[in-house]
């Protein structure tokens, strides 16, 4: 366990090298908030509620979901694996005495812990600048459940991106697919519009998918909604993590033999 914590600490320190990146990442979180502020500002003119949200409730949802999205930085894992398999340097991870997937988990943990504080500061600043009457649940149990769900959601995203990266062993180039995946996830994770505005049949379908529990449900829970789904949601996302781990195990054993270490 100690060696993985060392990896996490190293990645935390690495972020400090790029201090301007940290600052600009904080500043650019404003684009999502500004989008929500202007779009919903114009939509809410003459309306009290939409889909059960007040204007400030809606902005609170965007603040929380944007915060969660900002600290979820596993997208780089699939790109890293993809690039390294293609140029033959994936061997770097095979010769060091660590489990490769655990290494990426530790890396993600280090980055998340580093950005947690800065993104929290950014969220508070946007709440003050946009004069948002922040809506937040008053139940500690719900906060705990949402935090666990968000953590399990991030583990799932690391698994997913690790799995997608491994597909390079079979398909050689998956860059285009990774970009399409990002576009799709933006919608189905509820970062463009809250999923509660979708038709009920679509919401029910999404409840069976893991992405519902990564950003959307934790954000809804923290803004005081959907509390009856908290415990069930936690079990669903944990079940998805277990299932994904099995898929990774099978994929790794099946495809790693194709890796020859000389690039494509």
Partner 1 sequence: MKHFKKNLRVLRELFYLRFHGLTVFRLDFFGPFFVDGSLFVMQLLAFGVIYSNVDTIGGWHQGEMILYIGTFSLLNAINMTLYFFGVNGIPYKVRSGELDLYLTKPVSPLFRLSFENISPGSVPLIMMSICIIAYGVHRMEAQLDAVRILEYLFWVIIMAILYYDMEVVIRSFSLYVLSMARMEQIEEAGIDLCMKLPGIAFYGVYKFIFYLLLPYGIMATLPVQSMIGDMDCMLAVYGIFVVGLFSALAHLMWKQGLKRYNSASS
Of the candidates 10, 89, 175, 204, which one interacts with partner 1 according to CB under 8 A?
175
10 or 172: CB nearest partner 1: 172
In the complex with partner 1, which residue's Cβ is closer, 97 or 199? 199
Residue (58 or 230) nearer to partner 1, CB: 58
Q: How far is the CB of 42 from partner 1 (least distance, A)?
A: 5
Residue 176 binding partner 1, by CB under 8 A: yes
Q: Which of 173, 204, 209, 247 binds partner 1 (CB under 8 A)?
A: 173
Joined tokens for residue 81: 């694996």
Q: Which is nearer to partner 1, 178 or 236 (CB)?
A: 178
In the complex with partner 1, the residue whose CB is nearer, 2 or 46, is 46
Stretch that binds partner 1, among 144-152, 191-199, 204-212, 219-227 (CB under 8 A): 191-199
How many residues sit close enough to partner 1 to count as binding (CB under 8 A)?
29
CA distance 123 to 54: 19
Q: Least separation, in Å, of the C-beta of 142 and partner 1?
A: 26
Quick check: 170 binds partner 1 (CB under 8 A)? Answer: no
Beta strand residue intervals within the chain, DSSP E = none
Q: Exposed, middle or buried: residue 72 (CB in 10 Å: 0-12, 13-18, 19+)? A: buried
12-51 residues near partner 1, rule: CB under 8 A: 20-21, 24, 28, 31, 34-35, 38-39, 41-43, 47, 50-51
Residue 163, token pair as written in the block: 């799995």
Span of 113-121, 127-135, 190-198, 234-242 interacting with partner 1 by CB under 8 A: 190-198
What letter would DSSP give residue 139? -
Of the pair 79, 245, the CB lying nearest partner 1 is at: 79
Contact in structure between 102 and 186 (CB atoms under 8 Å)? no
Structure tokens at 157: 């995203």
| Nearest-5° Cα angle at 54, 224 to 217 | 35
Distant-in-sequence contacts of 190-198, Cβ < 8 A, 24+ apart: 190/65, 190/215, 190/216, 190/219, 191/32, 191/65, 191/66, 191/69, 191/215, 194/51, 194/53, 194/58, 194/61, 194/65, 194/219, 194/220, 196/51, 196/52, 196/53, 196/220, 196/225, 196/226, 197/50, 197/51
Q: Does 193 bind partner 1 (CB under 8 A)?
A: yes
Least distance in Å: CB of 197 to partner 1? 5
φ, ψ dihedrals at 50, nearest 5°: -135, 125
Q: Which residues bind partner 1 (CB under 8 A)?
A: 20-21, 24, 28, 31, 34-35, 38-39, 41-43, 47, 50-51, 173, 175-176, 179-180, 183-184, 186-187, 192-193, 197-199
């Amino acid at each position: 366990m100690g060696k993985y914590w060392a990896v996490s600490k190293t990645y935390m320190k690495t972020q400090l090298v790029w201090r301007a990146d940290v600052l600009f990442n904080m500043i650019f979180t404003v684009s999502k908030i500004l989008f929500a502020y202007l779009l919903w500002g114009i939509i809410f003119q003459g309306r009290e509620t939409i889909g059960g949200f007040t204007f400030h409730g809606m902005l609170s949802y965007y603040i929380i979901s944007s915060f969660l999205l900002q600290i979820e930085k596993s997208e780089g894992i699939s790109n890293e694996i993809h690039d390294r398999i293609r140029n033959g340097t994936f061997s770097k991870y095979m010769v060091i005495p660590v489990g490769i997937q655990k290494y990426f988990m530790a890396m993600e943990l280090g980055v998340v812990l580093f950005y947690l504080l800065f993104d929290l500061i950014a969220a508070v600043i946007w709440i003050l600048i946009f004069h948002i009457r922040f809506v937040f649940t008053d139940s500690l149990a719900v906060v705990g459940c949402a935090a666990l769900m968000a953590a399990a959601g991030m583990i799932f995203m690391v698994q997913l991106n690790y799995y997608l990266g491994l597909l390079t062993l079979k398909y050689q180039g998956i860059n285009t697919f990774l970009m399409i995946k990002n576009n799709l996830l933006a919608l189905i994770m509820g970062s463009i519009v809250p999923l509660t505005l979708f038709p009920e049949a679509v919401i029910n379908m999404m409840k069976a998918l893991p992405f519902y529990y990564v950003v959307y449900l934790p954000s809804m829970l923290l803004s005081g909604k959907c509390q009856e789904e908290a415990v069930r949601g936690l079990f669903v996302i944990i079940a998805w993590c277990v299932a994904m781990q099995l898929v990774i195990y099978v994929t790794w054993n099946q495809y790693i033999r194709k890796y020859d270490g000389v690039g494509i």
